[in-house]
Structure 1
């Protein structure tokens, strides 16, 4: 089992966090949000297999909440005060290292207790297509300084224009604009002045 410091070092390195303090805050946030989705028996099993400082945060959660993967990421973003995209990446990194740190029995219980998109976060790395970090320089400590060998199958780097449909710089406009049904692009329908309409 990974020690507390090993887990935080790995998370800090692969999530591009500046140090163990930030890594611990991120790991705690992910664990607490996951705990809110679990039942008490699963929370207790998870807490027993985590280093004591991380397990402590699980004991105060309100369990049995019903929310989806998007809400999990939103809650992590809110608690760690990072943009949603970073929260998604940080959550994935934390869950991957928890997958490696937890005993198989606890990992199985955790995956069984979560709905499908969330349980997939705990797929062992060797089974996730392209999940591999290769650093050009072993002295480099963050993912941003390294070079990913292959992009994860759902990574934005696989897209030619990630989020292109929602960026102001490249969006094609609202449906009304594309179909020229806005007031600016409209066509006059009557020659009668408004004062004559009843």
Structure 2
């Protein structure tokens, strides 16, 4: 197993500075992982692990009841982390190891693990975006609008502000009689509004 590639894969999941920190994550997780793998397949899988992690993996006491909760607790205890961070570290290491193993070895590891740990070593299939749904109408936004109406009044009339008159026909300034400008009165002329 290429250790530099394995470290890079772990860093894809968990941002960790320095090779020593990544190596410690890998070693701690592999020691816990050893408790999940029976002795019949342990040696074969150990040869595929990084050199620093092999002994801990080989020497782990096999426990058929060892599952995700126990693995996370052991990683949390060894790394002095909260369970959530330990689960993140362990899942990142297992996903990286699974990606580096050839398919037969990865499948063997998956079979050896308890069911609640298997998703962490399953290969991610290349996913494709879902096919585009056919549009129900010519309106691109019809399927995402909150209202069933065709749009604003301007949209329904197929008008834009550039095509129509700006402003209302009854401007606010003329709604209640003549304006000062129409009377040619200003405060600057010294006459109060309304006096001639």
Report TM bin, short chain: 0.5 to 0.7
| CA displacement 1:24-56 (0-9 Å, x = unmatched) | 111111111110121112211111222322223
- Identify the residue that residue 26 of structure 1 maps to in structure 2: 25
State the partner residue of 2:55.
56
1:107 aligns with 2:106: yes
Alignment correspondent of 2:69? 70
Separation in structure 1 between the aligned mates of residue 114 and residue 68 of structure 2, nearest angstrom: 9
Structure 2 unpaired stretches of 5+: 129-196
Closer, same or farther: CA 27–128 of 1 in aligned 2, 3 Å: farther
Q: Residue 127 and residue 29 in structure 1: after superposition, are their counterparts in 2 closer, same or farther (change >3 A)?
A: farther
1:141-190, Cα deviation, whole Å (9 max, x unpaired): xxxxxxxxxxxxxxxxxxxxxxxxxxxxxxxxxxxxxxxxxxxxxxxxxx
Does residue 43 in structure 1 map to residue 36 in structure 2? Answer: no
Match of 1:16 in 2: 15
Post-superposition, which runs of at least 4 consecutive aligned residues in structure 1 deviate over 6 A?
none
Partner of 2:151: none
State whether residues 9 and 23 of structure 1, in contact with CA within 8 Å, keep that contact through their aligned partners in structure 2: no
Any conservation in 2 of the 1:12–1:20 contact (CA below 8 Å)?
Answer: no
**Structure-2 separation of matches of 1:126 and 1:113:** 21
TM-score normalized by structure 2?
0.59
Q: Secondary structure at the match of 2:116?
A: helix
Unpaired runs of 5+ in structure 1? 130-198
Let me know the Cα RMSD of the aligned residues.
Answer: 2.3
Distance 1:109 1:121 in 2: 14
Change (3 A) 1:82 1:127: farther
Asked if the contact 1:49/1:103 (under 8 Å) is kept, the reply is no
SS of the residue corresponding to residue 117 of structure 2 reads helix
Structure 2 CA distance for aligned equivalents of residues 95 and 47 of structure 1: 14
Q: Is the 8 A contact 2:76 2:83 kept in 1?
A: yes
Q: Secondary structure at the match of 1:62?
A: coil
How far, CA to CA, are the matches of 1:82 and 1:18 in structure 2? 16
- Give the greater-gyration-radius structure (CA): 2
